[in-house]
Amino acid sequence: MLKHRGFPGRLPGTDFQFTIRRGNPRGVTPIIQRERYADRRPADRRADTGFLAALWTQFGDQPFERGNLDAGRLGWLFGREVVAAEDPFDPASYEALLIIDKSAAIAAFPDVFEGES
């Protein structure tokens, strides 16, 4: 499992986890698309924004390996702002490649991309 050096482990000042420390010996947790309802708590929305900002800062518009990124946190963005960068895509692989869909990310999280052209 690739560990993304320099990537924040969690949202500062919270318990919202962004990365995992070690792989699961019983099997990889698959990435599943989680539904974001309009009535989500503001703290959850801040976690999504912070995670996407960290992804954009670390990887930009380049494909990246899932590695030690938390499957649960990825699930809130998967299928919308973060999409599969390979076909076939294995959601239960630490080596799976993902990429940020910048147009979808700008539409959902404009604050993350302020000042960019």
pLDDT above 70: residue 27: yes
Q: What is the pLDDT of residue 81?
A: 95
Show Cβ contacts of residue 22 under 8 Å, excluding neighbours closer than 6 positions.
1
Q: Strands 82-84 and 64-65: what pairing? A: unpaired
pLDDT above 70: residue 112: yes
Q: What is the pLDDT of residue 90?
A: 93
Backbone angles phi, psi at 7, to 5 degrees: -80, 135
| Whether 94 contacts 2, CB under 8 Å | yes
Span 66-104, pLDDT tens digits: 999 999 999 999 999 999 999 999 999 999 999 999 999
pTM for this model (two decimals)? 0.90
